[in-house]
Amino acid sequence: MTTPGPTLTVRPLQYRDLDDLKQWQSEDLEAGGDQSAAEATVSWIDHQRRWYGPLKVLSWLPGPMPQSPTTFVAERNKTLVGFIQVSPFNRTRSTWRVEQVVINRPNLANAAAAAYMDVGSRLLRHCFEVVWEARTWMLEVDVSHKSAMALYRFNGFQPLAQTTYWALQPEQIAVLAQREPDLPNLLPISNADAQLLYQLDTASMPPLVRQVFDHQIQDFRTNLLTGASVTTDRLVNQVETISAYVFEQQRKAAIGQFKLAISRDGKQPHEAGLTVHPAYTWLYPELMTQMAKILQPFPPQSLRLTSLDYQPEREACFTHIEAAPEAHTLLMSRSVWHKVREARHLSLEGLQLSDVFTGLQPAGKPIPGRMTWSAEHWQTLMGSSKPDSTQPENLPDTSASQGDR
């Protein structure tokens, strides 16, 4: 008789867990990625130890404020073996995002080889059950990380779109900045433009992606705390954020917009995001030229761009300006309603016919309704003393008269 193994407990992260997580080494972690992903996880743990108190207070504040990620840890024999980090993707909190799933391999030395799959699945399913607001889950995983891909596919995630990260070198940025962009009605973005940006975002993506993202108008507004965060980035991290959109006069609509995060000290790459209406794809080179001219006064640094595969004109533009692809990831999504029987292997060969048609079997003996008339009941109502008679005696016989006719 085999004794059952130690049970795995999943619970929210507590402050006392941070000291144990601090002892984890990057080479011991399985973070669904390469060594750089493990090192980023160790850096995140150190950040949590420093700012645990302020982040906890911010999570308690009401209102539409940026939510800090929620962390759950997996514990076995009073030893932490892994954790998962999730966060809301939109303001309505209908879609949540899996940030990372991290497993400590040495703490599972006596477990099976599939420990990453087992512990990761347990962490994911705990989030599916606890986060009741989420109707849809999404995540982004590198296409070369086979173990993470297998974990997410096993737990019901399906491919949604392919993402490519491009890098544009300072030499190409200088070449783009030599000409003037053709961008009439280029306006800065404010909260008053949230309706226009929402319509642009809706028109620029396929229906399935739009359903998963579930963006609303409030997702394109900036609240007080978000503005304070942008100011802190500018003062502390030397990151300047500039955003603008192109307004089309005849249709009274936004047809393209960009958001540019500029590294003013040149210590990190610049980052940019582009959104263009599918009917105005000629705006891609014009918007790239505009961003290149904005970057000219700042220290030379590469520009990092993101491209999703449902607009091929965007990738064609990046290829034309000689941007180099750096990473390829897969955007995956999962509906919360798939969690009922997604991992239960049910064979149709073992089903009995009675199991299949269980819902068609009667629950009890049928009871006659009120309108079921018997012969005796009919005779009683009509006042007849002969139950065998087929014709009530108090009724006139009209057969003779009918025959005379």
Residue 32's pLDDT is 62
Residue 348's pLDDT is 45
Residue 363's pLDDT is 56
Strand partners for 85:
71, 100
Residue 111's pLDDT is 53
* DSSP character string of 265-277: TSSS-EEEEEEE-
Domains of the chain: which residue ranges?
Answer: 9-155, 164-334
Same fold, 9-155 and 164-334: yes
* DSSP character string of 49-114: HHHHHHHHHHHH--SS-PPPPEEEEEEETTEEEEEEEEEESSTT--EEEEEEEEEESGGGTTS-TT
- In three-state secondary structure terms, 194 is helix
pLDDT in tens, the chain (405 residues): 334 456 888 999 888 888 788 787 777 677 665 556 666 676 767 666 666 666 565 555 554 444 567 889 998 888 888 889 899 999 899 999 999 898 887 777 655 556 778 899 999 999 999 998 899 999 999 998 888 899 999 999 999 999 999 999 999 999 999 999 988 889 999 999 999 999 999 999 999 999 999 999 999 988 776 666 667 666 667 788 899 999 999 889 999 999 999 988 888 899 999 999 999 999 999 999 999 999 999 988 999 999 888 888 999 999 999 999 999 999 999 988 754 444 344 444 444 555 445 555 555 565 555 555 555 555 655 554 444 444 444 444 444 444 444
Residue 389's pLDDT is 46
- CATH 3.40.50.300 corresponds to the domain 164-334: no
Residue 378's pLDDT is 53
Residue 207's pLDDT is 92
CATH superfamily entry for domain 9-155: Gcn5-related N-acetyltransferase (GNAT) (3.40.630.30)
